[in-house]
A and B are shown apart, each in its own frame.
Chain A
């Protein structure tokens, strides 16, 4: 009995699924277009079952366009303890801003506003 039900269920759902997919499928192919949305596979080490709560890009929400290298306090939030630049998957920054941020951090390092590497 249960087998029949189970057999029926996939059958009914299978013909529907391609139809549903063909319509809104391509449009909603990847919700990761907006900053902060990520496919579930991008969780911790790619193994997370749950969707990590969508981290939004701080710069996009606050509408900060330019990231100056002089603003050390802002940059320090994206630099780890040892001075390394924190990856985007941990901070939730979007790609464009991460690139600008990296550039600013490297400029700041060159002018001794941020360290290259710290050691205890």
Chain B
């Protein structure tokens, strides 16, 4: 039962590029060793922070999408808390959300294909019935 998580963390801006890459590699290894799968790694680049975090005004944002169970994520979060260059992180669980989105999309697909054929047929029938009833009376 693997769950899908999205982990976004901010690395301090004065960390070198290779250090950042090393960090990401380290975290990815951690996940794969725990039996998880790293789906995507996205470096969102340097951004201005909305407020000061540990006396920094901007930071390097990184987004990881992970498929793993809870224990792996717990370990990853512990590491994120401990590593010095990481100043903030957030983990969001997204598998339920994706399930819901898929369901809605499927429903929309069914509705789209059903209505064009069903609507005219249904609209025609009651009209005919009404006319027949009127004539009978």
Question: Is B97 a contact of A111 with CB atoms below 8 Å?
Answer: no
Q: In the complex the two chains form, is A115's CB within 8 Å of B51's CB? A: yes
Q: Considering only CB atoms and an 8 Å cut-off, how many residues of chain B contact the other chain?
A: 18
Q: Is the CB of B8 within 8 A of A112?
A: no
Q: Mark B43-55, 1 if CB is under 8 A from A, else 0.
A: 0000101110100
**In the complex where A70-B8, A107-B92 touch, is A113 in contact with B50 (Cβ < 8 A)?**
yes
- Which chain A residues in 59-114 approach chain B with CB under 8 Å? 63, 65-66, 69-70, 107, 109-114
Per DSSP, chain B at the interface is: strand
Q: Which residues of A contact B104 (CB under 8 A)?
A: 65
Taking Cβ atoms with an 8 Å cutoff, the residues of B that contact A are 8, 10, 47, 49-51, 53, 59, 63, 88-90, 92, 97, 100-101, 104, 108
Tell me the total A-B contact number using a CB cutoff of 8 A: 33
Asked whether, in the complex, the Cβ of B100 is within 8 Å of the Cβ of A114, the reply is no
Which residues of chain A have a CB within 8 Å of any CB of chain B? 63, 65-66, 69-70, 107, 109-116
Q: Told that A65-B104, A110-B88 touch, could you supply 5 new A-B pairs with CB distance under 8 A?
A: A66-B101, A70-B63, A111-B89, A112-B49, A112-B50
